[in-house]
Amino acid sequence: MGTLEARHISGDITREVACSLHAGDQVLYSGIVYTARDAAHKRLVEALDAGEDTPIDIDGTIIYYAGPAPAKPGYPIGPVGPTSSYRMDPYAPRLLDLGQRAMIGKGARSQEVIDAVGRNEAIYFAAIGGAAALIAQSVKSADVVAYDDLGTEAIRRLEVADMPITVAIDCHGGNIYETGPAEYLASRG
């Protein structure tokens, strides 16, 4: 299973970077992340179905499944914790096939998403559930880039520094949602 010391990654998550990561690896990510929840994912796929351009370039994108709370004065964003990723499962394989490089959320994924991660040499990160205020401290700037009418579910472009995430599903077939419980049970005898 992954490394205990956090790996610092800055900028794009290329195929090479994704392939160098393994389930359980701890990462401190610095770069650009887009927030999008299920309503925004639905609109992205509807735009694709209609032959339209999406408001963000999907190729190489990191999408964080989050709907941040309003920012307090002087802060770029309010608490921004991960939402349950399964709600994006109907849309994620298509976006991964278009070049989306990474997803950040919480919880297990469908077999279709796991398969898409593998075939596209992508990565699924888990963010710390229940630590929305902690994660917000990693956000240096936040701007709505699409679907402003969705409020907290609008797509936002976040610039983050040392965002704490864990590799949950890697492109090699590693999956902490499968190995974690097995390792726990084995440690219990």
pLDDT on residue 21 = 97
Residue 41 annotated as catalytic: yes
- Flag whether the pTM goes above 0.85: yes
| Rounded-to-integer distance, Cα 35 and Cα 13, Å | 16
Place of tokens 């590799």: 167
The size of the chain, in residues, is 189
| Rounded-to-integer distance, Cα 82 and Cα 107, Å | 9
Tokens of 151: 């409020």
Write the pLDDT tens digit of every residue in 16-70.
999 999 999 999 999 999 999 999 999 999 999 999 999 999 999 999 999 999 9
pLDDT on residue 169 = 97
Mean pLDDT throughout 75-82?
A: 93
Q: What is the DSSP letter of 151?
A: G
**Torsion, CA 90, CA 93, CA 95, CA 99, rounded to 10:** 170
Of the listed 8, 22, 41, 172, which one is catalytic? Answer: 41
Write the pLDDT tens digit of every residue in 109-156.
999 999 999 999 999 999 987 788 889 999 999 999 999 999 999 999
- 3-class DSSP state of 153: helix
| Rounded-to-integer distance, Cα 180 and Cα 164, Å | 19
Residue 92 sits at the vertex; the CA angle it makes with 90 and 95, to the nearest 5 degrees, is 125
Give counts: helices (H), strands (E), the chain: 6, 7
**All domains of the chain, ordered by start, with CATH?**
7-187 (3.20.130.10)
Mean pLDDT throughout 84-101?
A: 97
